[in-house]
Amino acid sequence: MSDHSAENEIGNLKYALGLPGAGICLGFGAVLLWYSFGAPVGLMANNLDTIGFSGLDNVTLLDAADFSIGMIVVGALIMIFLNAGAWRDTNGY
């Protein structure tokens, strides 16, 4: 236990803060996907009720899609790079 150095503690802080932060980012992005698709005007249920089955053509990406998809990509990339770095730091163990 006496062979720990300050460098190892700083490296652990990167994983202790990075992985939960990336998980939160990924989780919020997944939840925000609910607000990313729909009809540009009005409620989707009302559109399907008045137009019928052909109202599915009105489904588009809304403004939240850029934000939510971006959060998912950023969170996944952070997790991938931190995981690859962890394998490199432990020499494959």
User: pTM for the complete prediction?
Assistant: 0.68
Instruction: Please name the residues in contact with 22: beta carbons below 8 A apart, sequence gap of 6 or more.
Output: 74, 75, 76, 78, 79, 82
Per-residue pLDDT of the chain (93 residues; tens, 9 = 90+): 445 555 566 667 888 888 899 999 999 999 998 888 876 666 666 666 666 666 667 677 888 888 899 999 999 999 999 888 777 777 766
Amino acid at 41: V
Where do the H-state alpha helices sit in 1-93?
6-32, 44-51, 64-89
What pLDDT score was predicted for residue 26?
94
Check residue 3 and give its pLDDT. 54
